[in-house]
C-alpha cells in the first residue's frame, strides 16, 4: 500500500490534489476506508478480479469530501452508519445500494443519500468512482432543529435516490461541484477563513435538508410561524435551566404568569407540543449527552433516573424514537 499524506497541486480530476492512499490489498483498503468512515465488511465479488483501490480526502470543518474507487467489483456492508450521513455521487460506473427498505441502482445521474439509522449494503462495479460527502449526524440535526425552531420528534430520514438532473438534486450537485472545485484550487482563499468555512458547511447542510425529500422537508418549507409569546420563551428558558429538578405544570404556569390553559395553548400554537412534552424532550437530550460522555462504569439506569425517567422501558422506547438507537448503544460508543 502507498499512503499519500501531502496534498498535490490541483488537477482537472476532482480532489486529485488530496490523495490519501493507493492499494491492491483488500484488508489494507478496508482499514484505511474504515478510518475515514466506519468499520465495514469488504469483499471482491468479481471473478478473477484484483483490487486497485485509491482514495482522496479533504475536510472542511465537520464535513468531508472524499473520492473513492476500488478497481474491482466489490460488496460493502457497514451496517448502520449511526453517527453520520453520506451522499454518494458516482462520477462513472454504477452501484446497487440497499438502505433500510429502499433499493436503487446508482449511476452518474442518480446519487444516493444514506440515512444514518438505516442498515446499509452496497455493491460497486469495478469502474465505479464516487465523490462522497460525509456530514455528521449531530451537525445535520442541529441545523434542522434551528430551521424548525423546535426539537426533532424522530430521526431525520432521507429519500435514498437523488436525481441530479432534476432541480433539487441539481442544486446540490452544483454546490458540491463548486466546493470541490475550490478545494482543488490551492490558491482559493475561501477555506482559509474559519467564518467562511462555517458558512459553507451551513449552506451545504441546508441545501440538502431543503432540496432532498425527507421526513422534515414539508415542515421546513412552510412559512415561518409568528413569534411565540414571551411566556412560552420564558418557560423554555426555565426548563432549560431546571430540567434536572422536579417540575410541574402548575409551577410552570405560575412562573410564566399565565393560566395553565393559556400556557398549553401557547405551546400548542407556537411549538406544536405541550410544556411537559417539551420538558421530556429536553431531558432526553440531556440523557443523550450524558450517555455520550459517560464515565467508566456508569449505567443507563443511573443516567435515566438522573433526568427523571423512572420507567426504564418507557425511557428506552422514547430514546429510540428520538435518536434511532438504544441508550445502551450510545453508552458503548
pLDDT tens readout for residues 274-305? 999 999 999 999 999 999 998 888 999 999 99
CA distance 303 to 317: 15
Every domain of the chain and the residues it spans = 2-221, 230-331
pLDDT of residue 188: 64
Query: pLDDT by residue (tens digit) across 65-93?
Result: 999 999 999 999 999 999 999 999 999 99
- Is the pLDDT at 225 greater than 80? The verdict is no
Query: pLDDT by residue (tens digit) across 32-45?
Result: 999 999 999 999 99
- Is the pLDDT at 8 greater than 50? The verdict is no
pLDDT of residue 10: 43
- Is the pLDDT at 241 greater than 90? The verdict is yes
The predicted model gives 211-219 an average pLDDT of 95
- Is the pLDDT at 9 greater than 80? The verdict is no
Question: Count of residues for the chain?
Answer: 333
| Grid cell listed for 182 | 475550490
Task: Give residues with Cβ within 8 angstroms of 315, minimum separation 6.
Answer: 287, 304, 309, 327
Task: Give residues with Cβ within 8 angstroms of 217, minimum separation 6.
Answer: 209, 210
CATH of region 230-331: 1.10.10.60
Q: Are 32 and 41 within 8 A, CB to CB?
A: no
Q: Are 42 and 76 within 8 A, CB to CB?
A: yes
The topology (CATH level 3) of 2-221 is: Jelly Rolls (2.60.120)
- Give the DSSP H/E element, type plus range, for residue 36: helix 26-36
Q: What is the pTM of this model?
A: 0.72
Amino acid at each position: 500500500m502507498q499512503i499519500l499524506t501531502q496534498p498535490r497541486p490541483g488537477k482537472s480530476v476532482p480532489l486529485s490534489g488530496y490523495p490519501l492512499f493507493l492499494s491492491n490489498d483488500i484488508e489494507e483498503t478496508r482499514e484505511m476506508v474504515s478510518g475515514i468512515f466506519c468499520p465495514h465488511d469488504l469483499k471482491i465479488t468479481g471473478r478473477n478480479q484484483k483490487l486497485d483501490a485509491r482514495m482522496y480526502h479533504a475536510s472542511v470543518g465537520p464535513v468531508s469530501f472524499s473520492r473513492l474507487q476500488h478497481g474491482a467489483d466489490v460488496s460493502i456492508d457497514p451496517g448502520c452508519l449511526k453517527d453520520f450521513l453520506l451522499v454518494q455521487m458516482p462520477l462513472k460506473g454504477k452501484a446497487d445500494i440497499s438502505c433500510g427498505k429502499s433499493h436503487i441502482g446508482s449511476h452518474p445521474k442518480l446519487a444516493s443519500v444514506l440515512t444514518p439509522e438505516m442498515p446499509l449494503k452496497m455493491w460497486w462495479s469495478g469502474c465505479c468512482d464516487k465523490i462522497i460527502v460525509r456530514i455528521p449526524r449531530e451537525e445535520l440535526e442541529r441545523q434542522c432543529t434551528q430551521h424548525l425552531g423546535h426539537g426533532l420528534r424522530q430521526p431525520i430520514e432521507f429519500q435514498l435516490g437523488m436525481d441530479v438532473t432534476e432541480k433539487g438534486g441539481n442544486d446540490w450537485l452544483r454546490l458540491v461541484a463548486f466546493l470541490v472545485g475550490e478545494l482543488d484550487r490551492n490558491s482559493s482563499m475561501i477555506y482559509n477563513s474559519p467564518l467562511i468555512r462555517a458558512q459553507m458547511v451551513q449552506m451545504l447542510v441546508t441545501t440538502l435538508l431543503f432540496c432532498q425529500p425527507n421526513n422534515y422537508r414539508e415542515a421546513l418549507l412552510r412559512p415561518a410561524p409568528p413569534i411565540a409569546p414571551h411566556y412560552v420563551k420564558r418557560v423554555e428558558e426555565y426548563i432549560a435551566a431546571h430540567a434536572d429538578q422536579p417540575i410541574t405544570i402548575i409551577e410552570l404556569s405560575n412562573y410564566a404568569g399565565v393560566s395553565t390553559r393559556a400556557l398549553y395553548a401557547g405551546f400548542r400554537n407556537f411549538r406544536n407540543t405541550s410544556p411537559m412534552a417539551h420538558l421530556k424532550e429536553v431531558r432526553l437530550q440531556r440523557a443523550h449527552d450524558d450517555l455520550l460522555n459517560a464515565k467508566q462504569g456508569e449505567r443507563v439506569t443511573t443516567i435515566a433516573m438522573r433526568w427523571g425517567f423512572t420507567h426504564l422501558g418507557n425511557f428506552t422506547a422514547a430514546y429510540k424514537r428520538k435518536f434511532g438507537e438504544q441508550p445502551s448503544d450510545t453508552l458503548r460508543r
